[in-house]
A and B are shown apart, each in its own frame.
Chain A
Amino acid sequence: MAQRAIREYDGKKLFAQNWDKYFKGLNYPFESVLVTSGEELLKKAEEPGYEWLKKKPLVVKPDMLFGKRGKNNLVLFKVNKPGDVTLEDAAKWIDEKRNQETTLLSGQKGVLTHFIVEPFTPHSEDEEYYIAATTLDEENDVLYMSAHGGMEVEENWDKVTEVKIPIDATDEEIEKLIKENIPADIPADKKDVYAQFAVDFYKFFRDLNFAYLEINPVVIVGNNVYLLDLVARLDDTAGFMMKDVWGDIEFPTPFGMPEKSPEEEAIAEADAKSGASLKLTVLNPEGRIWTLVAGGGASVVYADTIADLAGGVAELANYGEYSGGPTTDETRFYTETVLDLMTRQKDPQGRDKILIIGGAIANFTDVAKTFTGIIQAFEKYADKMKDVGVRIYVRRGGPNYEKGLKDIKEAADRLGLPIKVFGPETHITDIVRMALEDDKAKA
């Protein structure tokens, strides 16, 4: 993953922390808190610097990386009339909304846990401007500007001005490009402030290694710039050089993503500790076809082929890969995790389960060494595998593959597990075809 979303609150905090460096002469009244409960909000209001929570009317929104919160009726800005939300109202609303499943218009489901609370900024709809920047392609960024921001910006996309900015443009060129392209319908009295903000915004976007940054709407009053809503993604590969600027920024799991199972969690943990790569996603725990594939590209190819030849993904139980020279222990642990999931129940229709041990021709990974780990896991799970009826299909190449294939065949034969073993002379995904054809032969 390279581009990762951050919370609105964290995005605004980055603005506030770097404001004086980038936005000289402009003012951003940063008043914002991120809380997970009404109680936490009430407590925050007692801290010095947060007196505004008691004094000002408030706005509350979930801060969980999904948009269209207004349309989803998930913005609290009024009880009876706009701008009358008190601290107590806000706390009550948060407690009503949190920790219960919420379904968005898009169909995404999840539990609301994080809320951003800010002062209500009175303004009219025609004061809502739009600005966004993204990394367009190899050579250009693009800056989007519009006098028509707010909830309907997508409907008004024809009014958005796009400015392509070459990634190696000088400060003067950037300034010229942006100032020449300020949307004509921004009122004359705000044009200069908007233009300066746009130039500074782009440099801020560029220097802080954002991949995407959108403020919608941005409201300008005098020299004050109000960032009312924000969406941002950072390029996390820049993390090593942005430590001081980003701080300990959080990359939350997107709203509606299923929580990881304990097994997936365990593999992710092992992955984080290892120099090798270990990835596991359980797609369907009741699926019949399980994969144990070495290599990122190969794992995709196997998943593709299973979907193609098995007529869809109903039977595909997992997606994952191990690569980068895992130790015997790591492969054993990875295999045990997969075998454990696979042997928990029999196929309801009484068919055999299929274990695909696949991989391309390795560059360095010692095949015999990794297969030793798989064999150790076989020894532990052989009885369970026989109980649910597992047929094994192996295909692999690379350093020491002859020994690896011989070892795994011998082990499976000794343990009484049905196995078919192939090397590089067999097409990488052909074992998927063989496995499915053997099914037919058995039926």
Chain B
Amino acid sequence: MGLFTRDTQAIFWNNNRSAIQRMLDYDYIIKREKPSVAAIVAPTSSNKFDKFFFGTDEVMIPIYRSTEEAAAAHPNADVLLNFASFRTAYDVTMDALRFPQFKTIMITAEGIPERLARIMNKTAKDKGVLIIGPATVGAITPGAFKVANIGGTIENIVKSKLHRPGSCGLVTRSGGLFNELSNIIALNADGIADGVAIGGDRFVGSVFIDHLLRMEKDPNVKYMLLLGEVGGREEYKVIEAVKSGKITKPVIGWCIGTIAQHFSSGVQFGHAGASANADEETAVAKNKAMKEAGIHVPDSFNDLPHVIKGVYEELRGEGVIKDIEEPEVPPIPEDFAKALKAGKVRRPKHFVCTISDDRGEEATYAGYPISSVATPDTGKTIGDVVSLLWFKKVYPRWAVDFIETVIKTVADHGPAVSGAHNAKVTARAGKSVVESLVTGLLTIGPRFGGAIDGAAKYFKYAYDNNMSPKEFVNYMKKQGIPIPGIGHRIKSVRNPDKRVEGLKKFAKEHFPSTPLLEYALEVEKLTTSKKDNLILNVDGTIGILMVDMWRALGYSEEEIDEFIESGTLNSFFILGRTIGFIGHILDEKRLGMPMYRHPFDDILYDVQKAEEIK
């Protein structure tokens, strides 16, 4: 019997998607009926399952929060693939050992504390559970079941004939060289029947001899290959077994690390388990002892292929090994992502983004890494970020400063305005910040905050159509619309709005030119001559100066019209006022005011009995 059969199913501890996908790809090419992964254990996952490809189809593999649940739901899964980190791998194994259904536990973590590793290994041994690892890529029974990543890519697996049983039993310490050896055996013989990488740590749960004795009894294994390493005495157990006749099948052996004989000390060649504490633990001594025991040992690693070929051909000549009829391998559909990268497929995109990109090393705002605009030493401010993300341009300083001036100017206008009031009432109803905020924001429109858009639109229209201020005032009167951006509740010519004064002053000093503002001021002269408080208000000033700003920045009239139509101007108000709304909401949270109920005496009740319509 090989280590695994075509019915073997595993529970995979940790949702290592790429390793699980490789197992399912393997299942597909060897035409397994059931997937080799029955379930996944992921203690922090909130998902109930994950999807994986099976050929061109997808299958769902259930996810459980604990090994206990997974084991109970999948009593036939007798392998646990423990992909926990070195910090938790011990606990995961000890936990799994409580459930007698697990016959094999494979542990991938490298560097589990030695004492814990030994206790884990011994507990398993006492219970008759086979441990593979720690610090391993696992094991494979070709044509039946493969652990996680062993064998590498699916292309390599087919090339190395790991998709169908051959006749060699392979045992190595190193996982990287396991792949290499599989390849060598495929090139020089007929592939492997069963293979294990026992792991590189000092204390591993099963050693060479455990697997070689098992392979001795496995009728599919006709000869064995052992790749050892400098350090430790495990190879001597194999030598003893060969000498005593417990192993009768031909064995090919080699220990890597013969280089160490040339150096007195200080250079660590290979794994943690690989340092010779005595002469007999050196690779040279072990190779010599193996050769003396009748194991086939090459003169150097470079000659290993010839020895393999020799043993294989001899067994074939004797009729022990029969020729294999190569099975047909269904092609594995290429992953979309991979094919795309290779330029082999294409697909129309469903979304387009032209402002930011999070695919590289660092996310960018219109091509500028976030770190290049974020901290004060970059000299960049929130106005720069707005110009990058809203307009995909790097605006000059005066324009950036203007944008910030606008945002600061509109940030708040006290609790009584309708938007702030709504936000406060909502917050007092116990709603969250985001719910209260959107309630406030939803109030913004033609009557609240909308004058910015309107002012820009109408003043620009008048100016573009060469209307004189007088013609414009008359035009608006005919339309029956109060001029947006004109008029204030309290402020007047004699009591000017300081915010407006500030914006005008900034524009005069820093804008290259302000034609629309000058036009608007002419209009203001007319309106204020009729009534003292019909001044150009803050909304109007902002809307008009935005148009002046874009003109000075070189935008075409069509582009500016588009900004106005798409609500860009309003966006400045939304952005700025969000600061104020959040302030009011946090204020409510802080104050802990109760639910608001409007007083009866502030409502005019005028309710008539409904008329019945017959």
Contact = CB atoms under 8 A, between A and B. Distances in A.
A298 interface: yes
A364 B283 CA distance: 29
A50 B137 CA distance: 54
A305 B266 contact: no
A211 B257 contact: no
B267 interface: yes
A238 B202 CA distance: 13
Given A297-B176, A398-B153, A237 B114 contact: yes
Chain B's interface size range is 35 or more
Nearest to B172: A297
Interface in B84-133: 86-87, 111-116, 118-119, 121-123
Nearest to B179: A361
B442 interface: no
Contacts of B179: 360-363
Nearest to B115: A209
Contacts of A135: 114-115, 118
Contacts of B173: 297
A257 interface: yes
Nearest to A238: B113
A138 to B, nearest CB: 6
Given A135-B118, A305-B301, A319-B267, A361 B180 contact: yes
A19 to B, nearest CB: 21
Interface string B173-194: 1111101100110010000000
A240 B153 contact: no
Interface in A261-284: 281, 283
B597 interface: no
B458 interface: no
B126 to A, nearest CB: 8
A363 B138 CA distance: 12
A433 B269 contact: no
A67 B184 CA distance: 46
Given A238-B113, A363-B175, A168 B266 contact: no
Interface string A306-336: 1111001100000100010000000000000
A300 B256 contact: yes
Interface in A1-31: 1-3
Interface stretch (A52-60, A75-83, A170-178, A423-431): A423-431
Contacts of A430: 302
A305 B113 CA distance: 33
Given A138-B118, A361-B152, A241 B256 contact: no
A168 B153 contact: no
Nearest to A424: B183
Nearest to B151: A363
Contacts of B283: 304
A98 interface: no
A307 B263 CA distance: 11
B300 A237 contact: no
B291 interface: no
A1 B115 CA distance: 15
A269 to B, nearest CB: 18
B113 A319 contact: no
B176 A298 contact: yes
Interface in B264-288: 266-272, 274, 283
B152 A308 contact: no
A301 interface: yes
B347 interface: no
Contacts of A304: 256-259, 283, 300-301
Interface in A105-148: 135, 138-139
Nearest to B268: A1
A383 to B, nearest CB: 31
B300 to A, nearest CB: 4
Nearest to B156: A361
B262 interface: yes
Contacts of B177: 295, 297-298, 301, 360
A3 B299 CA distance: 32
A432 B113 contact: no
B201 interface: yes
Given A305-B300, A427-B187, 12 more contacts: A2-B272, A168-B122, A209-B114, A283-B263, A295-B176, A295-B177, A300-B257, A300-B269, A303-B259, A308-B299, A398-B152, A432-B302
Interface of B: 18, 86-87, 111-116, 118-119, 121-123, 137, 149, 152-153, 156, 159-160, 173-177, 179-180, 183-184, 187, 200-203, 229-230, 256-259, 262-263, 266-272, 274, 283, 299-302, 304-305
The 7 closest A-B pairs by CB, nearest first: A297-B174, A238-B113, A308-B300, A360-B180, A297-B177, A303-B259, A313-B262
15 contacts: A167-B115, A168-B123, A296-B271, A297-B256, A298-B180, A303-B259, A303-B269, A307-B262, A312-B262, A319-B259, A360-B176, A360-B177, A361-B160, A362-B152, A364-B18
